[in-house]
Amino acid sequence: MKPTKLSFTILTVAGLALLSACGDEVTNVTETSGIAKVDNFKSLSECKEDNVGSLAYASDSAKVFTCTEAGWVAINGINGKDGENGKDGEDGKDGENGKDGAKGAKGSSGKDGISCSVKALASGDGYKVICDGDSIGVLLNGADGKQGTPGKQGDKGDPGTDGEDCYLTDNHDGTVTVTCDTTTTTLYKAMCGTTPYDPATGTCDQTTVQPSTPGAYDCDGTELWCKDESPNFRVQTGLENNTNTSGYWQTYTDTVDGGKSEFEWPTELGNEFDANAFDPVVEYCQGLCGTVHLDLGEAERIVSPYAGVYFNIVGETSDTDPTPDTADVSEWGGICITYISTVSAKLVMGLDEETTNAVNDDVPVKALPKSIAGTDVCAEWSDFRQSGWGRGEKITGTEAATKLVSLKFEISGTNGTSAEFNIIRLTKYSDAN
């Protein structure tokens, strides 16, 4: 096609040195009166003798071409000198800090960890580790190290002061008086099996806890439990409901966890209303006494066997609902107990099922030391604490006292152990102090 003329006229360019796009050859263009514009190089008209010197601008390459005897040739002006660098502009002011973005949503809770326990191997060589009911390994006892070199004998100590002369006096009433200088202490003898100690012969075939002597402990009527010469077979909580089920002694053992622990009573149980009533035992022991035989059996969820006795504070919810009610016993301040036990024991705060599950069975307890002579222990509710092995919620003894279901006397220990006990007296802490 023929190039189209632009609507403007360029001035005569004289002596302008133009470079060819094909090399460094300079093409001199003398004069032209106009420049054509085409879309691309291919649209240029044929370069002939009659239009030599014509100029045309190709839009696709943004170049100017001139018609020469050699054809259309791109022309370029000679490069000008670089201009001087301009001065740097002033730094702009810092922009304002953007506002904090909105807080992200709380992540989901992590999964509960696995509960683990250990069980002693029958061989005595170590322990089996059990997590979520499955055995995951065994921890074996390490070998005994070599005996160390005996140390040098220390300097001889100063002679000790002379001890007091002590002697025993048999009172022939089941008690023995220990006299040391001017100090006397009364101890209770043992009984033989289920037969009380015979002062006439002074012999025993096996040792068990001696029943309390009637009148040996002063019951003034303010106690929750104190078996004096008059019958009193229930703990007098003062909070019983109309079901008449509070304060009766009951038992529990580790059989719910697969254990085989059991009780042995010094006399047969039962009265005219209930074949399992403890009235004969209470009358016989002047308290609540018996023997616990600890047997772990096939239990895998627990490490130590256990058994205990307890009483409900309020009693059953109704005649048709045996679930025990809760009570706020904060005003008691705590509890005082007089007891005998051939091994250490503990008082346990019994709570409702929902709270017990929430704390993962780690309810507040108070440790009781071994006692043969009838020890008195007083504990405020704040003295009851969780053992710390549970992974559930935390609860203090003071908090537990606001929703107490029962109070328990529990014995636990080494598999195969037999232990004797006698619960003689229970008193509110506020009445005893």
Establish if 36 belongs to a structural domain. yes
Establish if 104 belongs to a structural domain. no
Structure tokens that stand for 185 in this block = 């202490």
Task: Indicate whether 216 and 357 sit together in one domain.
Answer: yes
The pTM (predicted TM-score) of the whole model is: 0.54
pLDDT of res. 349: 98
Closest CA to 71 of 22, 6, 7, 106: 22
pLDDT of res. 62: 81
pLDDT exceeds cutoff 70 at 433: yes
Whole-angstrom distance, CA of residue 59 vs CA of residue 38: 6
Establish if 298 belongs to a structural domain. yes
pLDDT of res. 324: 93
Q: How confident is the model at residue 367 (pLDDT cuts 50, 70, 90)?
A: very high
The average confidence (pLDDT) of the chain is 79
pLDDT exceeds cutoff 90 at 315: yes
pLDDT of res. 140: 73
Establish if 275 belongs to a structural domain. yes
Establish if 366 belongs to a structural domain. yes
Give yes or no for a contact between 265 and 281, defined as CB atoms under 8 angstroms apart: yes
Whole-angstrom distance, CA of residue 24 vs CA of residue 28: 13
Structure tokens that stand for 4 in this block = 């189209």
Establish if 295 belongs to a structural domain. yes
Instruction: Return phi, psi of residue 53, to 5°.
Output: 100, -10
Task: Indicate whether 73 and 215 sit together in one domain.
Answer: no
Among 36, 57, 77, identify where a domain stops. Answer: 77
Cβ neighbours of residue 171 under 8 Å, at least 6 residues apart? 177, 186
Among 77, 104, 131, identify where a domain stops. Answer: 77
pLDDT single digits (tens) 73-132: 888 766 667 778 878 878 878 878 878 878 878 878 777 767 777 777 766 667 777 776
pLDDT of res. 167: 62
pLDDT exceeds cutoff 70 at 165: no
Establish if 413 belongs to a structural domain. yes
Establish if 10 belongs to a structural domain. yes
Range of the domain at 18: 4-77
pLDDT single digits (tens) 19-48: 334 444 444 444 445 788 888 887 888 888
Among 58, 77, 96, identify where a domain stops. Answer: 77
Total number of domains in the chain = 2
